[in-house]
Amino acid sequence: MLKKITLLLAMVFVMTNSALADPDKLATLRKGALNKEVKAPPIPRVYNDDKRQVRSYPEQPPTIPHQIRNYQIDLNTNRCMFCHSRKAIEESQAPAISITHYMDREGQFLATVSPRRYFCTQCHISQNKVKDLVPNSFVDIDAILQQKSKK
């Protein structure tokens, strides 16, 4: 057992030293530029078409299909509720927030949005038009079911 631990520590030591010796050889999302100043990429454009995006899995929070830059969401104001509250949806035609946002931890319904669901951007995000940084092999369940039905 002691030999295995010693061998493992020696391997970690060698790998760490070789990585520190030449940081440009490390595989990173920054293209190996760990010790160089790199110009920041431009801020990507946000999808702003007001069309609901398809969800990848059943309990996925919906994405925000519009620009939210400079929206105030703090203890005093929640800009999202100007359009998505139960009172505002008739005029705004925006989808109402889920009834689950009015429930507390014990499942009791509240008159207002639950404090734990008040900060919308904890779960809901805008979508940017960007290329994937890492390969993604995710397959939606509908695509899997469709493939199986063809067989």
pLDDT at 88: 93
Least confident window among 17-21, 57-61, 85-89, 104-108: 17-21
Are the C-beta atoms of residues 24 and 33 closer than 8 Å to each other?
yes
Tell me, yes or no, whether 35 and 60 share the same domain: no
Distance CA 29, CA 80 (A): 33
Mean pLDDT value across residues 51-78: 87
Tell me, yes or no, whether 86 and 23 share the same domain: no
pTM higher than the cut 0.75: no
pLDDT at 122: 93
Print the domain residue range for 6: 1-40
Tell me, yes or no, whether 16 and 53 share the same domain: no
Tell me, yes or no, whether 8 and 79 share the same domain: no
Tell me, yes or no, whether 104 and 67 share the same domain: yes
pLDDT at 23: 58
Distance CA 86, CA 98 (A): 10
> What percentage of the chain reaches a pLDDT higher than 70?
87
Are the C-beta atoms of residues 104 and 114 closer than 8 Å to each other?
yes
Least confident window among 11-20, 40-49, 89-98: 11-20
The average confidence (pLDDT) of the chain is 83
Are the C-beta atoms of residues 107 and 113 closer than 8 Å to each other?
no
Tell me, yes or no, whether 23 and 52 share the same domain: no
- Which tens digits make up the pLDDT trace of 91-146? 999 999 999 999 999 999 999 999 999 999 999 998 887 888 888 888 887 888 88
Number of domains in the chain: 2
Model confidence at 46, pLDDT cuts 50, 70, 90, reads: confident
Distance CA 26, CA 33 (A): 9
Tell me, yes or no, whether 34 and 75 share the same domain: no
Tell me, yes or no, whether 117 and 49 share the same domain: yes
